[in-house]
Amino acid sequence: MSEIGIGIIGGGYMGKAHAVALLAVGAVFNTALRPRLEMVCATSADKAEHYRKAYGFARGTADWQVLVSDPKVEAIVIASPQATHRAIAEAAFALGKPVFCEKPMGASLEDSRAMVAAAEVSRCVNMVGFNYIRTPASQYARQLIASGAIGDVTWFRGEHTEDFLADPQSPASWRTTGMANGTMGDLAPHMINAALALLGPIRSVIAEVETVHRQRPGGPVSNDDHAQMMCRFDSGVMGQMYFSRISTGRKMGYAYEVTGTSGAIRFDQEDQNALWLYRAEGPEASRGFTKILTGPTHPDYLSFCQGPGHGTGYQDQIIIEAKDFLEAIHAGKAAWPTFQDGMMVNQIVAAALSSSTTKTWQDVAAF
């Protein structure tokens, strides 16, 4: 059992989640490599000190360059806003340090391309934070599809819908400015990543990206509220997606349906411990969608709990990510999804945005 010093940039929503995950992951998964919370970085020294104490880091700093270059910081977790991702990652790779970067990868496709390039040159472990695909249920869904349990896939539907900006009176903020903070920039990547994980590469898309509430108390809105998309996978399968931050009533609407020639799968993150599976087998009279509760026989569940149906939650997804990141570093192997995978998501986002302007189908390869 060896130790590795970790530095996290950001101590907010995700910075905290990663700190907690790193504290717990060793005991949960009995990892060979054990993380040491070495340094946390925030926008001010006060904040950094607050996070340091709250999460139990050894040191804090207001300068991410200090963190990245500190010799006791041996691996980096980027949990700061999209605009900061690229520079931090490039600096870390330049020093040969593994990087875990929160989604989306950078503020633009250009950013993510540069990050992939830097990662490749460095040959360091690089991983993107698509946590939802790591629930035991969604991992099992991937296995089922890959094993042919639903036959040949014929259709896909995915959505990532929330309602935190559904109220037109919700004020303007940083969230309502900048494409990287809009629905396509911020929410869509999770579900696009899921689509790729479940069905493979996407060849072409057509999309409508829209700002429904163009004015909010406090000022104008410069990014998108929701977007709908149709796509064609490399496999020839077609599908639909929808992304929204104004989907009144939806709290964590990361949901998908995958239909095959001999079965189908349905999942909704709002009930993340259940996967619905239909199999066209046995007598017609007893067929139907089976509500499978996750349990010890599903991927990464047993380490959290020996009892089936006892359930994992949001924080546990981040613990699973931490485990995979540590194991990748320990083994010196890539951990899915890599920066390359994250960049492919941004490519599709770019194609969709372009499509919404031209109103035509766009080849993803052109982006």
Q: Reduce the DSSP state of residue 148 to 3 states and report it.
A: coil
Judged by CB under 6 A, which of 4, 8, 11, 99 binds ligand NAI? 11
Output the smallest distance, CB 153 to ligand NAI, in A.
Answer: 26
* Partner in contact with 269, chosen from ligand NAI, a copy of itself, none, beta carbon below 5 to 8 Å by kind: a copy of itself
Judged by CB under 6 A, which of 4, 41, 196, 227 binds ligand NAI? 41
* Partner in contact with 116, chosen from a copy of itself, ligand NAI, none, beta carbon below 5 to 8 Å by kind: none
State which residue, 65 or 315, has the beta carbon closest to a copy of itself. Answer: 315
Output the smallest distance, CB 160 to a copy of itself, in A.
Answer: 12
- For 343-362, letters b (16+ CB in 10 Å) and e give bbbbbbbbbbbbbbeeeeeb
Output the smallest distance, CB 251 to a copy of itself, in A.
Answer: 3
Q: Which amino acid is at 288?
A: G
State which residue, 361 or 367, has the beta carbon closest to a copy of itself. Answer: 361
Q: How far apart are the C-alpha atoms of 115 and 105, rounded to whole Å? A: 8
Alpha-carbon torsion angle 295, 264, 266, 321, nearest 10: 50
246 to each of 140, 150, 158, 163, 182, how far by Cα in Å?
30, 33, 16, 4, 11
Output the smallest distance, CB 179 to ligand NAI, in A.
Answer: 13
State which residue, 91 or 255, has the beta carbon closest to a copy of itself. Answer: 255
Output the smallest distance, CB 128 to ligand NAI, in A.
Answer: 9
Using CB atoms within 10 A of its CB, is residue 44 exposed (0-12), middle (13-18) or buried (19+)? Answer: exposed
Output the smallest distance, CB 121 to a copy of itself, in A.
Answer: 34
* Partner in contact with 109, chosen from a copy of itself, ligand NAI, none, beta carbon below 5 to 8 Å by kind: none
The token pair at 246 is: 């104004």
State which residue, 65 or 306, has the beta carbon closest to a copy of itself. Answer: 306
Q: Reduce the DSSP state of residue 51 to 3 states and report it.
A: helix
State which residue, 128 or 344, has the beta carbon closest to ligand NAI. Answer: 128
State which residue, 219 or 313, has the beta carbon closest to a copy of itself. Answer: 313
The token pair at 87 is: 């520079």
Specify which residues 277 forms β-bridges with.
265, 290
Report DSSP state, residue 40. E
Beta-strand relationship, 126-129 and 99-102: parallel
State which residue, 41 or 192, has the beta carbon closest to ligand NAI. Answer: 41
State which residue, 9 or 99, has the beta carbon closest to ligand NAI. Answer: 9
Give a three-class secondary structure readout of 200-236.
CCEEEEEEEEECCCCEECCEECCCCCEEEEEEEECCC
Q: Does 119 bind ligand NAI (CB under 6 A)?
A: no
**Residue range at the interface with ligand NAI (CB under 6 A); choices 8-16, 212-220, 289-297, 340-348:** 8-16
Which of positions 56-115 make contact with ligand NAI (CB under 6 A)? 64, 79-82, 84, 102-103
Contacts of residue 290, defined as CB under 8 A and 6 or more positions apart, other chains included, come to 276, 277, 278, 279
Output the smallest distance, CB 43 to ligand NAI, in A.
Answer: 4
Binding mask 238-257 for ligand NAI (x = CB under 6 A): --------------------
Which phi and psi (to 5°) does residue 157 adopt? -135, 130
Contacts of residue 319, defined as CB under 8 A and 6 or more positions apart, other chains included, come to 20, 21, 24, 25, 28, 29, 304
Which of positions 167-196 make contact with ligand NAI (CB under 6 A)? 186
Q: Which amino acid is at 313?
A: G
Judged by CB under 6 A, which of 13, 249, 285, 286 binds ligand NAI? 13
State which residue, 55 or 130, has the beta carbon closest to a copy of itself. Answer: 55
Residue ranges binding ligand NAI (CB under 6 A): 9-15, 41-43, 47, 64, 79-82, 84, 102-103, 129, 131, 186
